[in-house]
């Protein structure tokens, strides 16, 4: 069978023998979020254009190249609940490629923020990710700070992290105020079909029902995230530093 080739309107060229699952979840003026699912041997070439990108490996192993920069055999976890992430930072106006090299599915999150200056590609290994436990009692959660604090020096404006909630607790409580737009991408460890609820309130309460792979763009707000019994919750979050 002949290889499958496709070139889209944004100069992103895909070369693979089978279609790659490439989805744009959120597309706003300053923030964009896309996901990739690839099998071993599949590859994709992209251009970051006006955005700096945090390439977060959710699961699987990849080779990532941007010019002379190479990150080979990166990504160690089998899913988001199995340890700290690996992330590759891609500056704006940069051509880069991703290839799936491990067994099983490679799943990647592309966290895009409009850049104000161009930096250099950089890799953040799991041991560089700061892990913290925040809150107490029934509002305790674990946080992975990926581009936060010292790691934030590599980016123009992006801030990226992961949060894990425990069954029967509030992942973010007391209410946390998010300044500006924030994108959240959710995973559920067990009972993936069961819906959870995210509340936010500015002028009036609003509710979102979330399940596996739900993605939300949230404006300035207070965000409590309740968990249901027997379901661990994960969410990747990112925003721009003002």
CATH number at residue 218: 2.60.120.10
State mean pLDDT over 135-146.
74
Question: 39 and 93: one domain?
Answer: yes
Q: pTM for the full model?
A: 0.84
Structural domain tally of the chain? 2
Model confidence band, residue 50 (pLDDT cutoffs 50, 70, 90): very high
Question: 182 and 102: one domain?
Answer: no
Closest CA to 107 of 32, 15, 206, 212: 212
Question: 158 and 56: one domain?
Answer: no
Question: 192 and 134: one domain?
Answer: yes
Model confidence band, residue 14 (pLDDT cutoffs 50, 70, 90): very low
User: What per-residue confidence (pLDDT) applies to 69?
Assistant: 97
pLDDT tens figures, 154-208: 778 899 999 887 666 666 554 555 567 889 898 888 765 556 566 655 555 667 7
pLDDT tens figures, 201-237: 555 566 777 788 989 888 765 565 655 555 678 889 9
Question: 97 and 184: one domain?
Answer: no
3-state DSSP percent of the chain in helix, strand and coil, to 5: 5, 55, 40
Containing domain of residue 189, as a range?
130-240
Question: 77 and 35: one domain?
Answer: yes
Model confidence band, residue 152 (pLDDT cutoffs 50, 70, 90): low
Question: 23 and 88: one domain?
Answer: yes
Provide the 3-class DSSP secondary structure of residue 13.
Answer: strand
Model confidence band, residue 151 (pLDDT cutoffs 50, 70, 90): low
Question: 91 and 32: one domain?
Answer: yes
Question: 142 and 103: one domain?
Answer: no
């Amino acid at each position: 069978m002949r290889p499958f080739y496709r070139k889209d309107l944004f100069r992103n060229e895909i070369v693979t023998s089978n279609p790659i699952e490439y989805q744009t979840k959120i597309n706003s003026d300053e923030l964009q979020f896309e996901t990739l699912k690839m099998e071993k041997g599949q590859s994709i070439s992209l251009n970051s254009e006006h955005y700096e990108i945090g390439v977060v490996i959710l699961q699987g192993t990849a080779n990532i190249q941007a010019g002379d920069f190479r990150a080979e055999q990166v990504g160690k976890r089998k899913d988001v609940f199995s340890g700290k992430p690996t992330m590759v930072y891609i500056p704006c106006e940069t051509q880069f490629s991703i290839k799936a090299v491990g067994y099983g599915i490679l799943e990647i999150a592309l966290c895009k923020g409009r850049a104000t200056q161009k930096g250099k590609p950089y890799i953040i290994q799991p041991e560089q990710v700061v892990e913290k436990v925040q809150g107490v009692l029934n509002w305790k959660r674990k946080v992975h700070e990926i581009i936060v604090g010292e790691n934030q020096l590599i980016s123009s404006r992006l801030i990226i992290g992961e949060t894990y909630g425990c069954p029967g607790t509030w992942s973010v409580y007391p209410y946390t105020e998010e300044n500006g737009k924030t994108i959240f991408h959710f995973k559920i460890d067990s009972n993936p079909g069961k819906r959870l609820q995210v509340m936010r309130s500015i002028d009036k309460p609003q509710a979102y029902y979330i399940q596996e792979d739900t993605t939300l763009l949230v404006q300035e707000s207070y965000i409590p995230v309740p968990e249901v019994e027997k379901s661990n919750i994960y969410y990747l979050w990112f925003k721009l530093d003002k």
